[in-house]
Amino acid sequence: MKSSSETLVRPSGSDCVLVIMAKAPRPGQVKTRLALSLSPEAVTGFYCCLLDDTLALARSLGDVEVALMCPESDVTELAQVAGSKASVVAQKGEGLAAGLTSVFAHFAERHQRRTIAFNSDSPHLPRSVLEDAFETLATHDVVVGPTYDGGYYLVGAKASHPTLFGGDGMGTSTALERLLSRARDLELSVGFADRFYDIDIADDLTRLAEELRLAPARAPRTAAWLKEWEACGGTFSKNLSDSLSDGLSDGHGRIVKVIS
């Protein structure tokens, strides 16, 4: 019998699990730093596109189980997004550190599976980077994908290490440094994925728009959103943002259409 805080999908025999760290797309709850440049509705619509393309990227990996980890209050809405192709699991506790700890406690603690937690705002990441990260994890205790701002966009392990993630410094320019320090304290070997960037501020939008203008197939829904964003001079009205989210949000952050 399934828990109300978890959706079930068909069992996977895969040795590898990619877990997307996600939130339900509600105004004021996702990508909050972008609110300095965009309306809350526009940010929400953009996040819907990022999440859709991130799921598509994850599903393109061969023989890898896909799941979403989220706050318990978001499970029902995100289950509509994931459909039947990914499980949605509620984290234990609040905040990103609790979410990451929950990923490895849930997926890696008993089965020693190669488990990678991946952010929901890097759908433009080349698939080969994720494939290489799983390979790196075969010969290391931990794999980390650093970002240029001192954080990390993915972290993987084959076992649960409850003290690896601390609440201090999460989401800051010292997040990677603190993670590596804890890994050293635990005597864990660490391998690295390619350095990359995620989407936090307007400059990141501009960079991503330039990349996807040349290769929109890397993240097609996000590319379409950014094309309209550029056409509007970097601003969006509420109505245009709603149309680009293609019915996923009803304007109050509730998902009303399943992503295919």
Residues 97-115: pLDDT tens digits? 999 999 999 999 777 899 9
Instruction: Return the percentage of the chain with pLDDT > 90, whole number.
Output: 66
What whole-number distance in Å separates Cα of residue 61 and Cα of residue 42?
Answer: 30
Q: What is the DSSP string of 10-34?
A: -----SEEEEEE-----TTTSSGGG
pLDDT-derived band at 161 (thresholds 50, 70, 90) equals very high
Retrieve residue 95's tokens. Answer: 């905040």
pLDDT of residue 13: 62
pLDDT of residue 168: 60
110 burial type by CB count under 10 A (0-12 exposed, 13-18 middle, 19+ buried): exposed
Helix, strand or coil for residue 130? helix
Tens of pLDDT, residue by residue over 242-256, are: 444 444 433 333 333
Q: Is the pLDDT of residue 240 over 50?
A: no
What whole-number distance in Å separates Cα of residue 74 and Cα of residue 12?
Answer: 24
pLDDT of residue 85: 79
Retrieve residue 42's tokens. Answer: 């526009």
Tell which residue, 117, 71, 74, 110, has the closest CA to residue 91. 71
Q: Is the pLDDT of residue 219 over 70?
A: yes
pLDDT of residue 199: 92
State the average pLDDT for the chain.
Answer: 85
pLDDT of residue 258: 35
What whole-number distance in Å separates Cα of residue 177 and Cα of residue 152?
Answer: 10
Instruction: Return the percentage of the chain with pLDDT > 70, whole number.
Output: 83
Question: Where are the extended beta strands (E) located within the chain?
Answer: 16-21, 65-70, 87-90, 114-118, 142-146, 152-157, 190-192
Tens of pLDDT, residue by residue over 175-218, are: 999 999 999 999 999 999 999 998 988 899 999 999 999 999 99
pLDDT of residue 184: 96
Contact 114, 138 (CB under 8 A): yes
pLDDT of residue 120: 95
What whole-number distance in Å separates Cα of residue 160 and Cα of residue 43?
Answer: 33
Tens of pLDDT, residue by residue over 24-65, are: 999 988 998 898 888 898 999 999 999 999 999 999 998 999
pLDDT of residue 35: 86
